[in-house]
Each structure stands twice: as C-alpha cells, then as structure tokens.
C-alpha cells in the first residue's frame, strides 16, 4: 500500500533518497570511490567504468581509495575491484580508507596513568576578576570566571560556564545548540539563563546559599544542588570536556 501510494522501488523497499551505488570524488592526490556493497558486483563494475572512462588519461597511475562505508566482509569485493581497475584503467595503487583513530576507554585511562594530561591542551577560557555591568564575554570555548559577575554583565559560551563566585548577570551557555552544556556557580543569582538557546529560570530561592548546577533535561533548564546531586560523581574516571 505504502509503495503504491508513494512510488516505492520495484523490489519493494520503501522509498528513500536515492544514493548512487558508486560515487567518485577527488581527495588530496587520490580518487575516493564510495561503493555501496549491497549493489550487485556487475552493476558496480558498470558504474565504475562509466566514471573512470570520463577521467581518461587522469586515471592512469592514479591512487584510488575504495570506501565501502565501513561495511564488513567486503574484502573480496575490494580485491575484485582492485584487479578490475588495474587491468582496465591502469591505475596505480588501490587501497581502502585509513582507519579512523578511535581512543578506546582503555587508552583514555592510560592517559591518566601515564601522565598523558601533560600534553592535553585546555579548551577553556579562564578569566579572573570582576565582570562589570555592560561588559560582554563571548567565547567559543568553555568559560571559567574566577571572580564575580555583576548584574548587567553578559556571558556567552559555546561550551560550559563555571563561575567561582557570585553570578548575577546574564548567562548563555552552549550557544547556539549544545544541549550538553551546563552552568555551575557558587552563588547562582543570574537575571537570565540560556542553555543551548533554551531559556530558564534565574535564581531558585530554595537553592539559596548552595552551589547550583544548571543543565538541560527534557528541553527544559533545570537547576540542581550541585553538592547534593553530584551530577559528575557517577563518572568513574576523569574525562576531558
């Protein structure tokens, strides 16, 4: 029914945006061939031929990277394509994309044990002193104020905002859309709070005199007692923000 109404493909799969089985683009000094491994091999051969014929002499001795989009069990397909390309178009080296370096949990723990933090570069703007009325601090990094923020001052950060002192101005964390951003202040009395563009209440009288942690929960800014709720206490190992 769905297919009839919306014109699904003949084989019955629901309609999606059509992705060509083979795409070719130049990356650096090589050709990057993206292949959809679910397509029959002879179709791939046909499409590749089409694309490489257009390249004419450029294909000769060129470096080619065959990207199967991370699909597993495609070694045979890649080998076949390598032979095909070398025979048909005289290309140089045919490889697969370099594997992305992903830091495993184990690795990140070793960073700590092996004093790897020494080489870690901070992604925060740390300011000391008083931010006065009319002053605007805008940064793409995390913002840490060691001092007070007076009423009428404005803080905007793409990351988190931490105020080691009294926060009485306007705060705008996670600008424009980082919903993981949070705000912590020792004395939390802002005139206006925004996290990821979502406005929230300023000071909560029930949290007076407490360190306040503000974050986004279900599209709302919620304020918590930092020392009581310990939002980061559950993270067992130090992690850089």
Partner 1 sequence: MEGKIIVVTSGKGGVGKTTATASIGAALALEGNRVAVIDMDIGLRNLDVVLGLENRIVFNIVDVVNKRCNLAQALIRDRRIENLFLVPASQSDNKDVLTAIGVQRVAKMLKSEFDYILMDSPAGIEKGFENSVVAADEAIVICTPDVSSIRDADRVIGLLYSRSITPKLIVNRIVPEMVARGDMLSHEDVIDVLSIDLLGLVPMDNQVVVSTNTGMPLVMHNQSLAGQAFRRIAKRLNGEVDIPIKVPTARTGVWDKISQKLGLNR
Residue 186, SS3 per DSSP: strand
15 within 8 A of 6, measured Cβ to Cβ: yes
- Nearest Cα to Cα of residue 167 among 142, 193, 198: 193
Out of 30, 34, 39, 135, the only residue in the binding site for partner 1 (CB under 8 A) is 135
130 is a contact residue toward partner 1 (CB under 8 A): yes
Size of the site for partner 1 (CB under 8 A): 9
- Nearest Cα to Cα of residue 185 among 166, 158, 209, 157: 166
What is the spatial distance between Cα 66 and Cα 35, in angstroms, rounded to a whole number? 7
132 is a contact residue toward partner 1 (CB under 8 A): yes
What is the spatial distance between Cα 202 and Cα 218, in angstroms, rounded to a whole number? 18
192 is a contact residue toward partner 1 (CB under 8 A): no
Q: How far is the CB of 107 from partner 1 (least distance, A)?
A: 46
Q: How far is CA 23 from the centre of its chain?
A: 25
- Closer Cβ to partner 1, 142 or 187, answer by number: 187
Residue ranges in 140-159 that form contacts with partner 1 under rule CB under 8 A = 148, 150-152
- Closer Cβ to partner 1, 187 or 215, answer by number: 187
Q: How far is the CB of 186 from partner 1 (least distance, A)?
A: 14
Binding stretches for partner 1 (CB under 8 A): 130, 132-135, 148, 150-152
């Amino acid at each position: 029914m769905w297919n009839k109404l919306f014109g699904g493909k003949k084989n019955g799969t629901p309609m999606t945006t059509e992705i060509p089985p083979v795409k070719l683009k130049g990356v650096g000094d090589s050709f990057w061939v993206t292949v959809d491994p679910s397509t029959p091999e002879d179709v791939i051969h046909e499409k590749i031929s089409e694309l490489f014929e257009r390249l004419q002499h450029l294909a000769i001795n060129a470096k080619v990277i065959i990207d199967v989009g991370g699909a597993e069990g495609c070694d045979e397909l890649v080998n076949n394509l390598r032979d095909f390309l070398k025979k048909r178009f005289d290309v140089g080296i045919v490889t697969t994309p370099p594997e992305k370096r992903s830091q495993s949990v184990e690795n990140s723990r070793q960073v700590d044990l092996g004093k790897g933090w020494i080489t870690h570069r901070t992604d925060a703007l740390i300011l000391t002193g008083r931010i006065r009325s009319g002053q605007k601090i805008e940064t793409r990094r995390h913002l840490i104020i060691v001092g007070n923020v007076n009423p009428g001052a404005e803080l905007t950060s793409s990351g988190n905002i931490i105020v080691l002192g009294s926060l009485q101005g306007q705060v705008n964390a996670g600008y424009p859309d980082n919903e993981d951003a949070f705000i912590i202040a020792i004395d939390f009395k802002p005139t206006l709070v925004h996290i990821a563009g979502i406005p929230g209440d300023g000071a909560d009288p029930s949290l007076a005199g407490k360190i306040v942690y503000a974050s986004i929960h279900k599209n709302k800014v919620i304020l918590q007692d930092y020392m009581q709720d310990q939002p980061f206490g559950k993270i067992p190992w130090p992690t850089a923000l």
